Amino acid sequence: MSRLYLVPTPIGNLKDMTFRAIEVLNDVDLILAEDTRTSGKLLKHFEIATPMQSHHMHNEHKTVDGLIEKLKSGLSIAVISDAGTPSISDPGFLLVRACVEHHIDIECLPGATAFVPALVNSGLPNDKFVFEGFLPVKKGRQTRLQLLAEESRTLIFYESPHKLVKTLGHFCEYFGEDRKVSVSRELTKLYEETIRGTAKEVLDHYTNKPPKGEIVIVVGGKNK
């Protein structure tokens, strides 16, 4: 029976791949990969020979209709991103939405994602939180930060290493230098690191020690 599977892949440590994920990727007819070169290494490691097709943010609008037809014809398809859970700041949402509209079965496997361990190990309240993903680069950034400055729940952001210092500077400006911040980078990898402190303290740290790797920023909410 046709079905769309959303399959999380490791964010760094290959040991975080689940038995079920390997089984599904072996059993489906087609794997949609954000970058076939990156995913090719993963599939080779686990000896998965299922055909792959490129599915990323630049082509997903054009490929959805064709993929729906494949699913309707009886094929089973898995979606994977370069790392983590598809559709979380990665491609996947448009196809899932189309499957819902066409009453095609969808199954999302549990597994690796970066923001959950970053939130849990931050030491900041995690009973209520807001996942923001990447902030707007230019247009709308100031407006978004002004809005989030009043948010009382814990905030979670993704950021690239070369923009981290700039973003931490904006947090100092809009949230206040004393707002609690935790920055986790290279999660599950050899040089995993979490730096905690005030926004100003964490900014000073990374100003003097430029970061590398994938980054998750967790920010304490505004005290009411």
Please choose, from the candidates 121, 96, 110, the residue with its C-alpha nearest in 3D space to the C-alpha of residue 185.
121
In the predicted structure, residue 99 carries a pLDDT above the cut 70:
yes
- At 25-52, the pLDDT tens digits run 999 999 999 999 999 999 999 999 999 9
- Whether this model's pTM surpasses 0.85: yes
CA distance 5 to 187: 25
pLDDT at res. 60: 82
Helix extents (H) in 9-92: 19-27, 36-45, 60-72
- Of the pLDDT bands very low, low, confident and very high (cuts 50, 70, 90), residue 1 is low
Which letter, b or e, does each residue of 71-90 get, where b requires 16 or more Cβ atoms within 10 Å of its Cβ?
beeeebbbbbbbbbbbbbbb
CA distance 168 to 135: 12
- At 174-200, the pLDDT tens digits run 999 999 999 999 999 999 999 999 999
Strand 129-133 and strand 154-159: pairing?
parallel
CA distance 126 to 144: 22
CB 73 within 8 A of CB 26: no
CA distance 86 to 54: 14
Please choose, from the candidates 169, 173, 167, the residue with its C-alpha nearest in 3D space to the C-alpha of residue 217.
167
- At 113-141, the pLDDT tens digits run 999 999 999 999 999 999 999 999 888 99
CA distance 5 to 149: 37
pLDDT at res. 56: 84
pLDDT at res. 158: 97
Query: What is the C-alpha radius of gyration for the chain, rounded to an integer number of angstroms?
Result: 19
CA atoms in the 13 A half-sphere facing the CB of 200:
4
Q: At 146, which helix (H) or strand (E)?
A: helix 141-148
pLDDT above 70 covers a percentage of the chain that reads 100
- At 202-220, the pLDDT tens digits run 999 999 999 999 999 999 9
The residue whose two tokens read 């690239």 is 160
